[in-house]
Chains A and B, each alone.
Chain A
């Protein structure tokens, strides 16, 4: 007598399980399947090609009616099981069918998770799980309009690409900063986002959906937390799946996140097995197909009396969107005992990263070229020692065994007319001839004389190799100091390339400029953050986690971890009200030290971090704003009392100092900027050792720059004499902007000006009115985004997490 095997669910996992079962013991069971869907078994992985129109339903059927008939399987379609009676060993369906079992397999899969926001139940809010969902999306696509896809994971992105191919406008909303963050690191996530934009799909990251908006019961759009509204004719929620466990729970089986099974795929009832996405095994739930197939094999063996065991799976993911090649497997987190191999090819849009531990691959992320994905995954699963082929590993399988590649040999082998610089159409012979005829010794020279690598810069490496090839040992790569250990590029090159390639984020810079680490270091991140803040003030979202603590909490950290606070006193002028407010704050918060600074203001030292917002709130009430005493930015404009009081004053030095400070405060600069205005050549405000200084004279304003009075002592250089205060302001602002655009991070004005030449500054700022005006205008534009008091922002709640502990634990009495 055959045993009765009942299977609840007809997805890919039970399909595969039955194949194994019939192969091993075709006569052992009488099989009955209950399928809630009204159809046979199909390949769910292929839903995306169906949605995009590249395949249709018939193409993706894995088991048709004939197959079930041929194996004597009874398949009930549209028959959702509503109850399991474990005592009587029966299951009963919604439409009244009851079946006995000897062995039961629960394969109920998973349910899409729907965010319970207002409007989630409107007509036109869809999920992406089965063929019915695809049909609904295809129907909606016929009328066109915009689809909003919530969720930038695997499913959401495939849905977005499919809907786009069906002719809809598509916006993807993703809560996290980068797409597919569970499978990809930020570099690959960046490339993916770029590829989606190239497909014409809008991607909004850090997007928290507040509500689905409706009209007459149907979706009309979505609203985000920040108030932004997007019109939509359909909304697809693809934020994740939950194991479908309701049935098992009601039957009294042990259920956690999923239905709990052991290595033998048995639930807490030995006659009942579970399989697939509904399962939780060793605290893991799986949503990808490979682990489900592994489970299916084990279950088939167990059902036929075997002893094989499922021990969990490592998983690999591949995104199925035409034109985008993406592969991710295993773990890609960094760790101390882990090493990484990163290969980037910016021009080809390739990023490959292998994560190694003890000379074995434990993770791989591939973007742009994924042919070697399965090979890496195989090495990963087999845990093979790769030390033998380590040097060439990342290049893939086809490179193994051959002689190691010599980049010089490749360059030498190029024909004379091979194009090196695509932007400017410069070929190899032109560069080589220039090097020999003009005696060039470095990339800068080649750039100046041939224009090769002067535009986008991606051929810089090739040009360097040509220099090495032509000059032999006499070529010493330019003394350019790399920014940090994460790149060979110097600050100048990085700034140049950020502009040439219009890069707008730190991951973009790291990818396009081929950073050798995945997320930079404490040296390059603050620099890149500044360069991007400076170059795209309107578009770039300041990355606070890449800022030094002082700039993150807008106060100066002291040796004991407390902070000091310096409010702005414009031009060093204060009043009794301001002083009283400071005195009150000092008393109220018991501030231990109050000191007058060299920049003509007052420093309160020794304030606990938690007290900062309250201190600022009180200071703010008296009209104070942040003095940016902590910032790589504009600090103070020191003044003397000028014509207001001084019998020698020639101009209103105080008024002008205040005016400059009010114009430029809040601006970020490569390093701190300190200024001063003196009312006469006696120079009581010591303007001639400042970054920028003004000496007022009878005929106008003598502008100085590039002074220093710190690590180095240096008197200023004279920029020139300007007769009118407005003109003087324009010169000063333009000079600061020129420095902002050209300075290396942490390089003070005096070093920058010496590096580029004092005359170059005079040429651009004093002698070229058009350039000056352009600098001035760019500064004014960037101030629109910079001149916001950070203290009052934080008093009103911004970055609250910075100032409060996350938790307080009370110690237990020692025993």
Chain B
């Protein structure tokens, strides 16, 4: 069901996340969700881990969701959608449902990389026909910017503040996309709302693949990142251009970089607009920026090598 991605045509579609949600001004998450839902015409049912997206989109008597949606708990978005998908398969097998329905689990990095990792891994391993979409804003934002394993090294968070003896997070971040690819699922990819066509293409591609799929989408948070309310798309673009957040996909084990920046920017371009990295721009902490750059460069080289492994 591949659709041509032309904004004019897309703009005529109903957006299945309504206005009136409570996410902060300039939040990356609702834009990510909007793009994900616009990309397809299939009916979609979603589960959602506890977090910013969940509490802000469904609170009290109000829901911004125009699709069937379930929030269960923090760590089990994947397990919950597994249950929904299993019921669908059961009822379809019994002839009680005919239509084609797609299943998506939404989770923040907290509910995906950390507490939700087991449930995600289990669902992927069992082969449920679903897409797990992580909107990665790099910390437990909903509870006030606490570090997660997705937080970049050097970042100032409330549980690992940049202080006089500890300069923010000292561990590098987990590469969850690679962990998911290592599950040998048919499709794992990274996307960014700044590169909307790439994002939507990946969503469409994922819907056409049968089995478990994983999409990791960067989702800037101006509160946690201490950035301006208007630069979430700009920052996600910089994330891609500095190769901090490379856009690639691993389809049946074959790695393909889906976007190569014309000019790979130095990581400071990404770090400078964010207040959470402000403390790194001092002589005693510049080694951290250097380390961040080294890690990015190494990962990018590795990714390019992986791609070469499979190119004809």
Partners in one complex: no
